[in-house]
Amino acid sequence: MKETRQKLLKSSDPISMFDEIFRVTVEDRMKVCILFSVWWHERNNANAGDQMKSLDDINASINYHVLEYRNLKKQSSSQKQDSIICWSPPAGGILKKNTDGAFHESSLSGGWGFTVRNDSGVLMAAGAGNLEHVSNALHVEALAMLYAISTTTQMECNRVIFETDSVVLKHAILNEDSGGVGGKGGRKAGGGFVHLLAPTPELWTLVLSHRTQILYIADISLVVAYLELVPGCVVLESGTGSGSLTTSLARAVAPHGRVYTFDFHDQRADSAREDFEKNGLSSLITVAVRDIQGQGFPDEYSGAADAVFLDLPQPWLAIPSAGTMLRQDGVLCSFSPCIEQTYDNIHNYIRTFEILLRTYEVHEGALKSATVNEASSEGCSLPGKKRKIRSAGEALDSTQTSSVIARPCSTARGHTGYLTFARKSVQGSQTGAAEVCPTS
């Protein structure tokens, strides 16, 4: 086992490590897998806030599982087996992907991994990662498969076998009713069009990874408008969250402006920075880790910001710093989900809005309208005149037209939060105070 450990320590990447694991004896391979499994379980518990076991306890747990494995091996060797479950190679020229995921229900987090092997069993690619804010185990399993598909696409291979232990995911892929491929032969679309759309902040808001609650299009539009953002503006934002608003702010100040966004959570800031780099926004957005409520904004931005946006649990703690950062006549906006947060700021904030988005269903329909003669005789008879009685079989004197009909949807998106705006007064900039006054 010491020799195996030395080989694994020399591995420079996951692929070479997997190769080494599959070269050792079956017993050593199982020991390595048990070690990874126990350590992964304890690490997930620690990330979720539970107390991690001591190294002695972890070692005892590993030894226990190794003994259990040996006992099961002895029992299985003494029993006659019709078949042995093992990895079966694909046909020549086809790659085989094995994917798996793990879901931690209490923290709504998970992990995923996949391996890609050729028909000789040689590891061609592998990947693994962590996920936050996932909804269930199926969500994790599906993302594991998507990452594997992305890797295969880069390898320019279109003949692939997917292997997963998620029965629900398998049925979702093969089921025609859920949009799957519909069985062995798959399914082709016989008509219709696929429209390729240029990426926009609005589309990104709909598809981004939710690391936190986000602002949607209705709230974002009011924020951008009331902050009076134009190309070249400098904006300070706290916190970054999932980057929904940040992306729209960057578009508003492009191409020469800048958005400086801060979040106290290291991993969240790193994920947002990675998203902005993928979307080509690195030249417009700077992401930093900082507790704005406790530390305020960095002094280097004092008097340089055209606008400041706050999405914080206690925004009033950051108001003095925000006022110092704003230029003369600069605008401050705070997003607060709870009315209590807004009430606590009433001495500083002046104008508060709540945006409720309601969509309409629009379709074309046929309308039947009566002629003037029929209207007067049927529904609009003059006083003292008897209503005309139509004889049986008499045709209705009316016309039919086509019109566009619109009606509001019966359901609408509920409350998201309160947007409160204030403007830095001229008096405040002259005296150096962080004073705010109503927006115009």
* Per-residue CA distances from 437 to 133, 236, 344, 351, 419 (Å): 38, 19, 16, 9, 15
Q: What angle do CA 207, 216, 109 make, to 5 degrees?
A: 50
Report the Cα 346 to chain-centroid distance in Å: 33
Q: Which two tokens stand for residue 278?
A: 């993928």
**Which amino acid belongs to residue 417?**
G
List the domains of the chain with CATH numbers.
2-66 (no CATH), 95-178 (3.30.420.10), 201-356+415-437 (3.40.50.150)
**Residues 152, 116 contacting (CB under 8 angstroms):** yes
Report the Cα 382 to chain-centroid distance in Å: 65
Which sign, positive or negative, has the C-alpha torsion 41, 42, 44, 50?
positive
The reported pLDDT for the residue numbered 346 is 46
- The rounded radius of gyration (Å) of the Cα atoms in the chain is 32
Q: Which helix (H) or strand (E) holds 132?
A: strand 123-132
The reported pLDDT for the residue numbered 54 is 79
**Which amino acid belongs to residue 74?**
K
Please state, in angstroms and rounded to a whole number, the distance separating the CA atoms of residues 297 and 311.
Answer: 14
**Residues 358, 412 contacting (CB under 8 angstroms):** yes
HSE-up (13 A, CA, CB side) for residue 130: 15
The reported pLDDT for the residue numbered 416 is 80
The reported pLDDT for the residue numbered 304 is 95
Burial, 231: exposed, middle or buried (Cβ in 10 Å; 0-12, 13-18, 19+)?
A: exposed
**Which amino acid belongs to residue 336?**
S
Q: Which two tokens stand for residue 255?
A: 């191409």
The reported pLDDT for the residue numbered 120 is 80
**Residues 262, 239 contacting (CB under 8 angstroms):** yes
Please state, in angstroms and rounded to a whole number, the distance separating the CA atoms of residues 302 and 328.
Answer: 11
Please state, in angstroms and rounded to a whole number, the distance separating the CA atoms of residues 127 and 129.
Answer: 7
Report the Cα 29 to chain-centroid distance in Å: 37
**Residues 208, 132 contacting (CB under 8 angstroms):** no
* pLDDT per 10-residue tile (average), the chain, 440 residues: 68 70 76 80 73 78 79 65 58 81 80 85 83 77 82 74 75 58 50 69 88 90 95 96 96 95 95 92 95 96 96 91 93 84 55 79 72 51 54 54 78 75 67 38
* Other Cβ atoms closer than 10 A to 195: 4
The reported pLDDT for the residue numbered 84 is 45
Please state, in angstroms and rounded to a whole number, the distance separating the CA atoms of residues 404 and 11.
Answer: 67
Q: Is 251 helix (H, G, I), strand (E, B) or coil?
A: helix
Q: Is 419 helix (H, G, I), strand (E, B) or coil?
A: strand
Strand partners, 289: 263
Please state, in angstroms and rounded to a whole number, the distance separating the CA atoms of residues 243 and 251.
Answer: 13
The reported pLDDT for the residue numbered 389 is 55
Range 309-339 burial, b when 16+ CB lie within 10 A, else e: bbbbeebbebbebbbbbbbeebbbbbbbeee
First to last CA, the chain: 74
Enumerate residues 6+ apart whose C-beta is below 8 A from 317: 293, 294
* Helix 244-253 and helix 266-278, axial crossing angle in degrees, nearest 10: 50
Mark out the alpha helices in 212-265 (DSSP H runs). 217-226, 244-253
Report the Cα 41 to chain-centroid distance in Å: 25
Please state, in angstroms and rounded to a whole number, the distance separating the CA atoms of residues 211 and 246.
Answer: 14
Please state, in angstroms and rounded to a whole number, the distance separating the CA atoms of residues 44 and 40.
Answer: 6
